[in-house]
Structure 1
Amino acid sequence: MRKLKLQMQISVDGFVAGPNGEEDWVIRGDDKHWQLINDLADSSDTILIGRKMAETFIPHFENFAKENPKFEFAQKMVNTPKVIFSKTLVAPFGSNTTFASGNLADEISQLKNQAGKDILVYGGASFVSSLLAGGHIDEMYLLVNPILIAKGMRIFDLLKNRQTLTLVSATPSYTGVTAMHYRFG
């Protein structure tokens, strides 16, 4: 069975975005973190994303200039099949996208039971909250930024029970960002 892996930026006080989705507080990590992000993308052949995040995520990578040093990674994001989860979308948009609007548990189960590499989740906050609350995420890669943003969007508030995590690795960077890799259970 394929694993569902979450990669997300988070502040020390537990926010994944500002009140209006702002990410201006995110500190970019160093080359070690970039390699982790790249390797994580390589270990996956499907990206799951909520509709709101898809509206910025997909055009961001599709509009990268060839001169950009991250162009190769951007092309990986463009070329990887993406499933946009939405109850309001009537058709997918962007390259290599489909959409899912059925029961979340059923859709995730179907995807996890397909052959292939693992599945990578990038966000947004409400979509990830639903995945966490449903117990669908197998591993988390949290890029913990050394900042307190005081208010914003959170992803753990829908959890009803305490959950035990196993720390797989913690990778600090010179920028102060620490990549925390956890498994559930």
Structure 2
Amino acid sequence: MLLVGLPGSGKSTLARQFVVANPKLKLISTDKIRKSLFGDEIIQGEWMLVWREVQRQFHQATIQISRGEIGAAIYDATNAQRRHRREVIVYARAAGFEQIVGLWVDTPVWLCLARNRRRDRQVPEEVILRMHRQLRDAPPSLSEGLDCLLRSSRLSACTSAALPN
């Protein structure tokens, strides 16, 4: 499963809920990779180092799937740019993934910004707004190579405390 969504949209929370509900899912998270490589999730670091680790984990996941050790993998990253989504999908297929489902966590930008302000690890607002424009102008689609595309609004999962003042 390829997650798509803004920082603060609820992607990582949703991914963790999926893994708790089904322990045979493997979570491949760029945030966790950054923490492992650079000591902190907020440190962007060199993308090629992160990407190589994503590729390694994709290969490892396909081996685990073939052995029956796991059932599927979830790739947790913003995936806001169409070009990057296509690259990930092409690579995932080359690594051996046969079925690729996209899940667009389409949370309103105002809610993502409000959640971001409450985080210890904040993403600069201009970055979130840029990603929002990228998703608005080039939203995920089946033409990118996905087998299925689901769209979810995380607005329904928020509490009144999550709403901006």
Q: Under a length normalisation based on structure 2, what TM-score does the superposition of the two structures give? A: 0.41
* Structure 1 or 2: more strand by fraction: 1
Q: Under a length normalisation based on structure 1, what TM-score does the superposition of the two structures give? A: 0.38
* Structure 1 or 2: more helix by fraction: 2
